[in-house]
Structure 1
Amino acid sequence: MYIINGALGSPYSMKMRALMRYRRIPHLWVHGADSRDALSKVKAPVIPVMEYPDGTFHNDSTPLIYDLEARHSERSVIPPDPAHAFIAHLIEDFADEWVTKAMFGYRWLEEVDQIQMSRWLAFDAMKGGGLATSQGYAEQFRARQVGRMAIVGCAAENFPLIEASTRAILGALETHVVDQHCLFGTRPSMAEFGMYGQLSQLGVDPTAQAMMRKDFPYSFRWLLHIDDMSGITGKWDTADAPFAPIITAWLQQVGEIYMPFLLANAAAIAAGEDSFHITAMGLPYTQGVFKYQVKCLADLRARYAALDAHARARIDPLLAQTGCLEALLSQ
């Protein structure tokens, strides 16, 4: 039995819980105060922390997905076609590293969201202790998170780009989900779960939820479907099937925003600089450098380089059209 030590307010926790449910891998869900001890068992104290049946502890959601694939073959979330698998990974990485800024920005920029979500997250974490204690903790947590806004690239001056990107992502999803739920057939891949994790938080936080209910109602409802797909038995698209339009739309966001973001971050670190700046969708964005995202870029390039010539030939036109290819080829 696996144990997911996570939080309802953590996009990566919700991502892994939904994935485990779909894969029908036996697990327990532990959150709040009951999950704190698990953080001391891993090098980087970030959730979710998954306790394996052998008593070992692991975190970092994307490596967890691949490790679970190696351990459990049934109901895989990796498309069997290598080209499709690469695109699924690229979208999942985009969700983890860029779309997460929407979650953070919507949650901590406006006072109404700060108050509501700090109190709810404190309630989740404490599970008792009295209202005064809970709200006191909420204020401390709120101050900490708001203080981190600039560090994670979610300062107010960056939010116009984050919001424009989010609306483009949701617009494509809204069009897609009324025709079909998944991206690579009638069963979900790691891409859906990665995007679900981030968007699950927008479906809860006051300002973002109101936006989704008003402008993207079917995407809002889709979140509840992806949360538990344990009853779904679908099929993968064949290797020669055309990509759904949503994949092109989302990859356009990757090519226009995420790839320039990764390249600028890597260049700034190589130059010994503390921050970097990009302009995308006609809007400015500035952030401090992050070493982890240099690893993300290197990993994407390595995965692309590992594709055989046939797989590359099938996706290179799409990657070129959407502005993704050049960054994957650069070294």
Structure 2
Amino acid sequence: MSIETYRIFGGLGSPYSMKLRAVMRYRRIPHVWTQLNDANAYEIANIRPAVIPVLRFPDGNMQTDSTPLIYELEKRHPGVRSVLPDDESQHFLSFLLEDMADEWGTKMMFHYRWFLPRDQKQMSTWLSFDRSAEGGLANIEKYAATFRERQVGRMALVGCTPGNKPLIEETAHQVLDLLDAHVPEERFLFGTRPSLADFGWMGQLSQLAVDPTPAEMMRERAPFIFRWLAELDDASGVEGKWRDADLSLSPAVKGLLKMAGEVYFPFLIANADAMGHGEETFSFRALGYSYEQGTFRYQVKCLSTLRARFAGLSDAAREKLAPILREAGCLEFLAAP
């Protein structure tokens, strides 16, 4: 492998790995994809936090966390097929929607993957196959049983419980309906070229399109999304333009922002408030459903980052966004406490 080439350590079952790889393919940044398995795991054994994707830079440095990595690549390769809209207000909205995909959309992925036995069985076996470099079927099945037990045991930790099922599935349906109506008309959320937000949702939905139960649901409810995901997985040939910033936002973007105001920000606020009071769990209601889970420090950081980015916008951008965010129910949550 050339020292000038990036290397992604990732997994086909990781929405964040698929997101980063798709961004690098679209931006035509030379890289090598390495499916993480038992034979090569030692190469990233000392990386913390121990999550994928891990990106090895040409200088040998390694970093993780897909969104910061995407922004780092923007710094290192400025102006080359950027995934960040030129318009400051659209850039912020793209970041917000990608953040919601990463932190709320992943609940959809985890819920559908591990809630029903049929999905547990297939995906634990497939993910074990990905991870196993050798050892044959017996080794795959042994690891699958252990991995399945571990992941199912983590469901309550990440909020994927029977009690939370109605809200998680309702938001999944809303996302699919919004995007499936949008992509035949304009292809991507902020024009005819993909943005950070498109890649964020692509990562999560790429997993729903593979797992048995959500794949069946998607084929009936959102058939265009299957083709959209396949196109966005390698959009290196896409040439497009950003949406005119003076035009009204698309119904899909407005709908996703409304979901942020009704579900995602209340989720972040409830988590942050509970964390601030030293509580181990939090709950809130959205769309007529109740939701409860354990507190997460990382999602406190997400809320803080969103507020800081909004505060850091120019006066003109904030003034432009204020009525949009107010209508969506988001503006009140972006003000620092």
Over 3 Å counting, the alpha-carbon distance change for 1:125 and 1:240 in structure 2 is same
Per-residue deviation, 1:35: 4.4
Where do residues 185-204 of structure 1 align in structure 2 (5 Å cutoff)? 185-204=191-210
2:127 pairs with one of 118, 121, 136 = 121
Amino acid at match of 2:42: D
Task: Tell me the alpha carbon deviations over residues 194-225 of structure 1, each in whole angstroms, 9 at most, x when there is no partner.
Answer: 00000000000000000001111111221111
Q: What is the SS of the residue equivalent to 1:128?
A: coil
C-alpha distance in 2 between matches for 1:236 and 1:261:
31
Aligned position for 1:159: 165
Displacement of 1:183: 1.2
- Matched to 1:85, the amino acid is H
In structure 1, which of residues 314, 319, 323 is the aligned counterpart of residue 320 of structure 2?
A: 314
1:272 corresponds to 2:240 = no
Q: 1:178 is paired with a residue of what secondary structure?
A: helix
Residue 239 of structure 1 and its aligned partner are, at CA, apart by 2.5
Task: Indicate whether 1:69 and 2:74 are aligned.
Answer: yes
Task: Tell me the distance in 2 between the aligned counterparts of 1:241 and 1:125.
Answer: 47
Which residue number in structure 2 is paired with residue 179 of structure 1? 185
Please point out which of 23, 30, 34 is paired with 1:30.
Answer: 34
Cα distance in 2 for partners of 1:141, 1:4 equals 23
Cα distance per residue 1:23-58 (max 9 Å; x no partner): 000000001315412432422010000000000100
CA RMSD in angstroms comes to 0.9
Task: Determine whether 1:8 maps to 2:12.
Answer: yes
Q: Give, as a single letter, the amino acid of the residue that structure 1 aligns with 2:238.
A: I
Query: SS state of the match for residue 12, structure 1?
Result: helix
> Aligned AA for 1:159?
K
Please give the alpha-carbon distance, in whole angstroms, between the structure 2 residues aligned to 1:216 and 1:240: 29
- Find the partner of 1:244 among 243, 246, 250: 250
Classify the secondary structure of the residue corresponding to 1:276.
strand
- Contact 1:22–1:232 (CA under 8 A) maintained in structure 2: yes
Give the gaps of 5 or more residues in structure 2.
none
Amino acid at match of 1:39: I
Question: Contact conserved, 1:10 with 1:47, CA < 8 A, in 2?
Answer: yes
Following superposition, the deviation at residue 241 of structure 1 comes to 2.3
Q: Distance in 1 between matches of 2:46 and 2:75?
A: 22
**1:19 paired to 2:17:** no
Q: Which amino acid aligns with 1:15?
A: K
Task: State which of 24, 47, 54 in structure 1 corresponds to 2:52.
Answer: 47
Q: Give 1:227's aligned residue.
A: 233
For 1:324 and 1:35, locate their aligned partners in 2 and report how far apart those are by CA, in whole Å. 44
Summarize the alignment of residues 57-96 of structure 1 with structure 2, pairs less than 5 Å apart. Answer: 57-73=62-78, 74-96=80-102
Number of paired residues? 331
Q: Aligned equivalents of 2:44 and 2:88: distance in 1?
A: 35
Deviation at 1:178, TM superposition (A): 1.2
Q: After the TM superposition, which parts of structure 1 deviate over 6 Å for at least 4 consecutive aligned residues?
A: none
TM-score (norm 2): 0.97
Cα deviation digits, residues 239-295 of structure 1 (max 9, x gap): 312211100000111110000000000000111100000111101100100000000
Indicate the residue corresponding to 1:296 in structure 2: 302
Amino acid at match of 1:48: P
User: d(CA) in 2 for partners of 1:330 and 1:303?
Assistant: 11
* Contact 1:126–1:134 (Cα < 8 Å) also in 2: yes
Distance in 1 separating the partners of 2:41 and 2:92: 34
Alpha carbons of structure 1 residues 38 and 84: separation in structure 2 relative to 1, 3 Å: farther
Contact 1:5 1:35 in 2 (8 A): no
Name the % identity. Answer: 53
Over residues 40-92 of structure 1, what are the superposed CA-to-partner deviations in whole Å (9 max), with x where a residue is unaligned? 24220100000000001000011001100000020000111110000000000
- 1:38 and 1:219 map into 2 onto residues whose CA distance is 35
